Amino acid sequence: MSVQREQLEADVLIVGAGPAGLSCALHLANLIQKHNASGAKPELSAENIYVLEKGREIGAHQLSGAILNPAALRELVPDFEKSAPLDTPVTDSASLFFSKSDSFRFPITPPPFQNKGNYVVSLNKLTKWLGGLVEKTGVNLFTQFGGAQLIYEREGIAGVITEDKGLDKNGKPKDNYTPGYELRAKVTVLAEGTRGSLTKDLVARKNLGNINPQSYGLGIKELWEVQPGKVAPGYVAHTMGWPVSTDMYGGGWIYGLTGNRVSIGLVIALEYADPQFDPHAAFQTWKTHPVLKRMLDGGKIVRYGAKTLPYGGWYAMPRNYVDGGLIVGDSGSFLDSQRLKGIHLAMKSGMLAAETIFEALVAGDTSAAKLSAYKQKIDQSYIRKELRAVRNFHQSFQHGFLGGFFHAGLQMLTGGRGLIDPMRAHAGHEAYRKINGRPAPERFQGDGKLTFDRLTDVYHSGTRHDEDQPCHLRVADTNVCATKCVTEYGNPCQYFCPAAVYEMAQEKGETRLKINPANCVHCKTCDIADPYQIITWVVPEGGGGPNYEGM
Ligand code: SF4
């Protein structure tokens, strides 16, 4: 079908309104305002900055623990403490070791888990607030629009085509059909978050990858309202040990918020050996530990969510500038996997991108050569200092927890170098071992009070999609699922998806893959962890997905 698309032109197009994208927009608008006020030429306008957000509103898809290091926010909004929705300052940082029935608090909290000066926040609320500041500058924020395809030009990019709206399941136009817009820009900023679908395409097509492939963790979170006095606001604990086995990398968090709410979650590296391991079930099992059970007793779940995070750091960072394009935030590997913090780095990367773009617009030159100033700015900032110091950290744990501790200890003594530098990593899906005829494990059911099955949790994520639209989870060859994968790996998609999207169903005596895309919480795990790399996540119709209100 040949499609007539409406064309719009902007100076700058930012794809994704998370902390990185919004910081980029706000900082750039502020720079433009100062530039114009000084009478300098050429005159620029914040109205020529467009921001696209696929969620139903700003913040709807924002999920994190979340502890905020306010370093970048302080630079961006110097008086942020007056109006930012900072739930509570961190008052206590604990490191706990869990055995199945007991726990032990380390007498000294290791430096990466000390959080003095940081805040426990709701990322959903923080980005909504930032979005409000951005809107006031005149920047155009478009919610319910996703970037479906990049427009490739020169040796880089020149904008995006947004998703078509109003197509039915078979891709046929319905009455409300509206073709996606062709949005062209002098600079396009990819701020899509972890495993961005456009970023993935750009990195592969232009060969922008670094020496290591990106590594990922899957974080699964619930927000609970608990009985008064169960958790102090500002209490922050990270847990190690049970139920995460020593050949896996992962741990839990407990963050006390105001209003008797607590954020709890478990994050597991997507590089485990058992293809039928179920991260959602592991999280539910973790909640049955006596520490969690006591805390949650008499309380109720408020929200559920899941999201992947990029662990790969410095040596997995793609080249982040091309002709007409920059990559920021989680899409660009700006996350400190040792401290499990990325919000401040995402924001700072967005701000450095803004400074680069501003200089490029003034010079009238948006080539890769001009935009490479972004990389220089990163190298001169605290981003490099923080990420270089942990450049080999996550790779150390790819062969088990104990070896990881040994390497990580040496790295701390040698400024990140350790025994091997650079330490290479493998893609997580390569770690799967074949099931060799082992029967499928029983699925976790939950008791409906403390623990839940995946569908109950999806209900608590506020997820919705129009069911009559093309499936946004593209499996290149479903025969692989029904023939090869079923015997080799036992269809891991049924286990790693934290939203029960994939199931192997029996139909007319045949086993086939059934996909329930309406449940998808946009965590991207399937795009990352499929053993044959044949699942591609693409943007569904804008406005679909979870609603992480208050998360
Ligand atoms: Fe995550 Fe994929 Fe499941 Fe969606 S379908 S929730 S992206 S694993």
Per residue in 402-429, pLDDT (tens digit) is: 888 888 888 988 988 988 899 999 999 9
pLDDT at residue 1, as a whole number: 61
CATH number, residue 273: 3.30.9.90
**Residue type at 467 in one-letter notation:** E
Q: Is the pTM of this model over 0.85?
A: yes
| Bond into 243 cis (ω within 30) | yes
Nearest 5°: the CA angle 210, 214, 220 is 160
Which pLDDT tens digit goes with each residue over 180-234?
999 999 999 999 999 999 999 999 999 999 999 999 999 999 999 999 999 999 9
pLDDT interval class at 113 (50, 70, 90) = confident
Whether 331 and 408 share a structural domain: no
Q: Is residue 172 in a domain?
A: yes
β-pairing, 156-162 vs 119-120, is unpaired
Q: Reply yes or no on whether the pLDDT at 507 is more than 90.
A: no
Stretch 388-401: mean pLDDT, rounded? 88
Q: Residue 525: CB within 6 Å of ligand 1?
A: yes
Q: Residue 528: CB within 6 Å of ligand 1?
A: no
Contact between residue 138 and residue 29 where contact means Cβ atoms under 8 Å apart:
yes
Q: Residue 539: CB within 6 Å of ligand 1?
A: no
Q: Residue 537: CB within 6 Å of ligand 1?
A: yes
Minimal-distance CA residue to ligand 1 atom 6? 520
Whether 352 and 493 share a structural domain: no
Which of 310, 339, 370 is where one domain is finished? 310
Total of domains in the chain:
4
Q: Is residue 30 in a domain?
A: yes
Minimal-distance CA residue to ligand 1 atom 2? 526
pLDDT at residue 402, as a whole number: 80
Domain assignment of residue 415, given as a range: 394-426
What is the distance between the alpha carbons of residues 491 and 423, in angstroms, rounded to a whole number?
31
Q: Is residue 93 in a domain?
A: yes
Q: Is residue 80 in a domain?
A: no
- What is the average pLDDT value for the chain, to the nearest integer? 96
- 8-state DSSP, 252: E
pLDDT above 90 covers a percentage of the chain that reads 91
Q: Is residue 249 in a domain?
A: yes
Q: Is residue 81 in a domain?
A: no
Whether 271 and 415 share a structural domain: no
Whether 247 and 375 share a structural domain: no
Stretch 135-155: mean pLDDT, rounded? 97
Whether 46 and 186 share a structural domain: yes
Q: Reply yes or no on whether the pLDDT at 316 is more than 70.
A: yes
Q: Is residue 50 in a domain?
A: yes
CA-308 nearest atom, ligand 1: 1
Which pLDDT tens digit goes with each residue over 75-91?
999 999 999 999 999 99
Minimal-distance CA residue to ligand 1 atom 3? 497
Beta-carbon contacts of residue 311 (< 8 Å; ≥ 6 apart):
214, 215, 216, 217, 269, 335, 337, 394
Whether 295 and 305 share a structural domain: yes
Q: Is residue 550 in a domain?
A: no
Whether 367 and 304 share a structural domain: no
Q: Reply yes or no on whether the pLDDT at 509 is more than 90.
A: no
Q: Reply yes or no on whether the pLDDT at 510 is more than 90.
A: no
CA-473 nearest atom, ligand 1: 5
Which of 276, 310, 344 is where one domain is finished? 310
Mutation pick for ligand 1 pocket among 458, 537, 539 (CB with most ligand atoms within 8 Å):
537
pLDDT at residue 508, as a whole number: 85
Minimal-distance CA residue to ligand 1 atom 1? 523
Which of 253, 287, 310 is where one domain is finished? 310
Q: Residue 20: CB within 6 Å of ligand 1?
A: no
Whether 28 and 90 share a structural domain: no
- 8-state DSSP, 336: B
Beta-carbon contacts of residue 493 (< 8 Å; ≥ 6 apart):
481, 501, 502, 513, 526, 530, 535
CA-493 nearest atom, ligand 1: 8
Whether 207 and 171 share a structural domain: yes
- 8-state DSSP, 315: G
Whether 441 and 521 share a structural domain: yes
Whether 36 and 142 share a structural domain: yes
Whether 112 and 223 share a structural domain: yes
